[in-house]
C-alpha cells in the first residue's frame, strides 16, 4: 500500500495554481509547504523536516483556498511517487507527495473543517 500520513504546520500560505491539462482543460491545484517536527533525544532541539505536497483533488484545493494559511496545523494523507527530473549529470530522483486520488484527505487541526475524496 502506497500511503503517507503527516502532521505539521504550513510554512507559508497554500499556493493555488492553474495548469492546462493534456486535453486542454484548466485544472486548479495547490502546493503546500509542510513543516513536520521530528523528535530527538531530550537534550537536543527537535529537527524540522520540510515536505512539498501537491494537491489535485478539487475539494481539497477549495479547502486550502479558504483555510490554507501560514501556521495552520494540518494532518494530510495521500500517496507518494518517485520521479526522475533532469538529464545526464543533472538527473536526480525525487519523492513527490500527492493528494489527488482515492483516500486523499486533509484535516484542519485545532478546529475548522476537513476534507477528503468522496
Q: Which CATH number is 50's domain given?
A: 2.40.50.140
Walk along the chain (118 residues) and give the pLDDT tens digit of each residue.
888 899 999 999 999 999 998 899 999 999 999 999 988 888 788 899 999 999 999 999 999 999 999 999 999 999 888 888 888 888 888 777 887 776 789 999 975 555 654 3
Q: How many domains does the chain have?
A: 1
Residue 70 falls inside a structural domain: yes
* Torsion angle defined by CA atoms of residues 32, 79, 116 and 53, in that order, rounded to the nearest 10 degrees: 0
Q: Are strands 92-99 and 47-55 parallel, antiparallel or unpaired?
A: parallel
The residue segments making up the domain with residue 86 are 4-110
Predicted TM-score (pTM) of this structure: 0.80
Residue 117 falls inside a structural domain: no
Residue 116 falls inside a structural domain: no
Residues 16 and 64: beta-carbon distance below 8 Å: yes
Amino acid at each position: 500500500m502506497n500511503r503517507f500520513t503527516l502532521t505539521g504546520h504550513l510554512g507559508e500560505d497554500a499556493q493555488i495554481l492553474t495548469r492546462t491539462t493534456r486535453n486542454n482543460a484548466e485544472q486548479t491545484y495547490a502546493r503546500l509547504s509542510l513543516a513536520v517536527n521530528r523528535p530527538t533525544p531530550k537534550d537536543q532541539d527537535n529537527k524540522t523536516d520540510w515536505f512539498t505536497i501537491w494537491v489535485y483533488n478539487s475539494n481539497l484545493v477549495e479547502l486550502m483556498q479558504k483555510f490554507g494559511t501560514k501556521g495552520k496545523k494540518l494532518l494530510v494523507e495521500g500517496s507518494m511517487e518517485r520521479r526522475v527530473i533532469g538529464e545526464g549529470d543533472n538527473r536526480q530522483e525525487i519523492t513527490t507527495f500527492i493528494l489527488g486520488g482515492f483516500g486523499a484527505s486533509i484535516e484542519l487541526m485545532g478546529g475548522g473543517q476537513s476534507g477528503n475524496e468522496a
